[in-house]
Structure 1
Amino acid sequence: MLYTIQPLDPVAFKLGPIPVRWYGIIIVTGIIIAYFLAVREGKKRGIREEVFTDLLIWAVPIAILCARIYYVIFQWDYYSLYPEQIVQIWRGGLAIHGALIGAVATAAVFCYKRKIPFFKLADIAAPSLIIGQAIGRWGNFMNQEAYGGVVTREFLEGLRLPDFIINQMYIDGQYRHPTFLYESLWNFFVFLLLILLRRTKVKQGEIFFAYLILYSVGRFFVEGMRTDSLMFFNLRAAQLVSVSLIVISAVLIFVRRRNKEIPRYSE
C-alpha cells in the first residue's frame, strides 16, 4: 500500500516576515498551564499569586538560557562551526536538564530572598513542572526531533497511533520510534501520581524529590531508545544525570525522614 507522507509544517503562522513556530507556541502553552496549576495549589497552601508571577518572570528566561547553554555545550563540535545558530532556539535544541538546573537554582535564590521555604514551593511546583514537560515534548514532535530508532509503519500502526503522528515520524526516509510520545505519556502519568501523593502524609520536600525520581526513571529508559542523545564521552548525558538525580533524591528522602523537625503536610 502506498502512503502519502506529508510532514506537518513547523511554522504555525507569520507575523509579517516573522515566522511563528509551533515549537514556541507549545512551549509557551506548557508554561502557562504550569503557572496556573501552581497558582491554584499555592492559594491552598497560603502562597499568594504574586509570588509565582514574580518567580516566573525570573525563572523562565533563566531556565531557557540554561537549557540552551546545556545543549550547546554538549553539541559544541557542531556549534563551534556554526556559531550564528547558537541563538536560534526556535529550531529546537533546549535540554530539559539544563532548564531544570536553571529553574531550581533561580527558585532557591528567590525563596532565600523572599524568606519562603524552598521545599514548600518546590512541592507545589513539581506537578506543574512535569505537566509542562509533558506538553513541551509535542514541540519536539512538530520539529521532528527527540525520536528513536528505526521501526516499520506496521509497528506504529500497531500502537494505534493516528496518521498525523505516524507520518511525522517518517524522518530521513525511515519511520522512527516516537520517543517524544513515550516520554510525554510517562510525564502525564507522573503528574497524576504526584497529585495523588499530595493527599498522603509525606514530609515537606518529598513531592519534589518524587518528581525528580519518577521523571528520571522514565527519562532513563526513553533516552536509551533515542538516536539524538547528548553524549558525555561514551555515555548518554541524560541517563547519567537521571541516575544521579534518582540516587541523590532517594538519599535526601531517607535523611530528611529521620529529621523530626521537618513537618508532614498532614500536620
Structure 2
Amino acid sequence: MNLAFIPSPSTGVLQLGPIPLRGYAFSIIVGLFLGLWILNRRWVARGGKHGTSWDIAVWAIPFGLIGGRLYHVITDYQLYFGEGRDWVDSFKIWEGGLGIWGAVALGAVGAWIGCRRRGIALPPFADAVAPALAVAQAIGRWGNWFNQELYGRPTDLPWAVEISEGANRVADTYHPTFLYESLWCVGVALLVIWADRRFRLGHGRAFALYVAAYCAGRGWIEYMRVDEAHHILGVRLNVWTAIIVFLLAVAYFVVSAKLRPGREEIVEPDRDAETAGTDGAASASDAPEKDVGADGDQPEADSDPLKKTARKQDPLKKDVPERSAPEKDVPEKSAPGEDAPDSDAPDSDAPDSDAPAKDSAPSEAADKG
C-alpha cells in the first residue's frame, strides 16, 4: 500500500451559502485572470496599447470555451448520446470536459475577429498570448484534481494522486497526469518567454513555439492516461492530434523564419496614428503666426543690421525722407555696415572752393534727382 500520495478533495463543490463554488470552474477562472494579466503586460511591452488585449480577449474567451466544449463532446460523444445517456449533460461545462485543441482553434477565430475590429494583425497578438495561454492551462488543469479525472496508470510513487472509488474506477493511487501537464505548461511558458527575449521572435513564431512545445509534452502525458478515449491504429486520438499539430507548428516556425525574419516594429497602428495626431496638433498650436526663418527663429523687425542695410541699399525699398528745405539737402547717416560716402565726393552743403556756389547746386540736384 502506498503511504505517500497526493490526496484528492472529497468534493469538487464548495458551498458559499446558496452559491456553489465548483473547483473546476474556479481553476479555469483564476487561470484566465492570470493569463490576461500576463497578456496585457506582454502586449504593452511589444508596443501595443494598454487594454487592447482585454478587448480582443472579450472575443477570444467565449469562442475558446465553446470550441473546447465542442471538441470534447464530439470526440467523446458516447458520454452524452449513448444508450442511457442524457444529451442535456453535454451543456454542463462545470462538470468538466474542455478540449484544449478546440479551445485554441476556435479561440483563435475569436481573437481574429477582435483583432480585425481594432485593425491589428493576428500573428503579433498570438505571440503575446502564447505564454499567457500556457500559464492559464497550468492553473486550469487543477480543475481535474477537484473532479478526480484525467489520471494515469496505477503507481506507488510518492507523488501519486489518490482517487476514491466511483463509476468505472476503484480506490487506488495513480499517476497525476493533470499535475504533469500543469508543470509542463509552466515550463513551456518559461521557454517561450526566454526564446522570445533571446531571439526576438515575431510574426507568430512565439505562438508556434508554444504549440510545438506543448504538443511534445502532451503526447507522452496522453499516452499515460487510462480514461476512456477513442483509438486510431491502437493509439489514442489525442496522441495523433498532438503529433499532427506539432508538425504543423514546426513547419510554420521554419517557413516563417525564412520568409519574415525579425519582429514587427508596429503591432498596433491605431496607437501610432494616435500619437502622430497628438504630436501634429501640438506642433500646429505651437507654431507662430508669422513666417519663421530657416533656423526656426522668428525674425524681429529691423533687428538685423545687415538686413536693414540691404533694405536701405535697395532703391525700390528705400524711403526718401521729406526735405524741410528744398534748397538744401541734409545727408542721411550711413547705416551700420553701409559704405561710407566717398571722401573725394563734393559736399552738397559746403560750396566748392574752386567753383562758384551757383554752379554747384544745380549740378548736384541733377545727380540726386
What is the TM-score normalised by the length of structure 1? 0.87
SS in 2 for 1:150: coil
Larger mean CA deviation between 104-113 and 134-143 belongs to 104-113
> Which has more radius of gyration?
2
Q: Find the aligned partners of 1:227 and 1:120 in 2 and give their Cα distance.
A: 38
Say if 2:117 is the partner of 1:113.
yes
Amino acid at match of 1:175: T
What residue in structure 2 maps to residue 200 of structure 1?
198
Amino acid at match of 2:241: V
RMSD of aligned C-alpha atoms? 2.4
SS in 2 for 1:253: helix
Tell me which of the two structures has the higher relative contact order, counting C-alpha pairs closer than 8 angstroms and 6 or more residues apart. Answer: 1
What residue in structure 2 maps to residue 247 of structure 1?
247
What residue in structure 1 maps to residue 176 of structure 2?
178
SS in 1 for 2:47: coil
Contact residue 124 and residue 264 of structure 2 kept, 8 A:
no
What residue in structure 1 maps to residue 31 of structure 2?
30
Q: Find the aligned partners of 1:135 and 1:63 in 2 and give their Cα distance.
A: 16
Post-superposition offset of 1:36: 0.4
Q: 1:197 to 1:100 in 2, by over 3 A?
A: same
Post-superposition offset of 1:114: 2.2
Contact residue 57 and residue 114 of structure 2 kept, 8 A:
no
Q: Show structure 1 runs of 5+ residues with no match.
A: none
Q: Find the aligned partners of 2:232 and 2:17 in 1 and give their Cα distance.
A: 42
Post-superposition offset of 1:195: 1.2
Q: Find the aligned partners of 2:2 and 2:71 in 1 and give their Cα distance.
A: 42
Post-superposition offset of 1:174: 2.1
Q: 1:142 aligns with which of 143, 146, 151?
A: 146
Q: Find the aligned partners of 1:82 and 1:138 in 2 and give their Cα distance.
A: 27
Q: Find the aligned partners of 1:229 and 1:264 in 2 and give their Cα distance.
A: 43
Show the 5 A alignment for 1:1-267: 7-8=8-9, 9-16=11-18, 18-80=19-81, 81-151=85-155, 155-157=156-158, 161=159, 166-168=161-163, 172-201=170-199, 202-228=201-227, 230-231=229-230, 233-234=232-233, 235-260=235-260, 262-264=261-263
Q: 1:176 to 1:169 in 2, by over 3 A?
A: farther
Larger mean CA deviation between 249-258 and 179-188 belongs to 249-258
Q: Find the aligned partners of 2:192 and 2:164 in 1 and give their Cα distance.
A: 30
SS in 2 for 1:59: helix
Contact residue 57 and residue 111 of structure 2 kept, 8 A:
no
**CA offsets per residue over residues 43-88 of structure 1, 9 Å max, x none?**
1122223322222222212211111111111111221131121111
Post-superposition offset of 1:7: 4.0
Amino acid at match of 2:174: R
Q: Find the aligned partners of 1:49 and 1:145 in 2 and give their Cα distance.
A: 38
**CA offsets per residue over residues 102-139 of structure 1, 9 Å max, x none?**
11121123223322121111010000000100111111
Q: Find the aligned partners of 2:230 and 2:114 in 1 and give their Cα distance.
A: 32
Contact residue 28 and residue 140 of structure 2 kept, 8 A:
yes
Q: 1:7 to 1:183 in 2, by over 3 A?
A: closer
Post-superposition offset of 1:35: 0.1
Q: Percent identity?
A: 31
Contact residue 144 and residue 168 of structure 1 kept, 8 A:
yes
Q: 1:95 to 1:181 in 2, by over 3 A?
A: same
Q: 1:193 to 1:266 in 2, by over 3 A?
A: farther
Post-superposition offset of 1:39: 0.6
Q: 1:215 to 1:7 in 2, by over 3 A?
A: closer
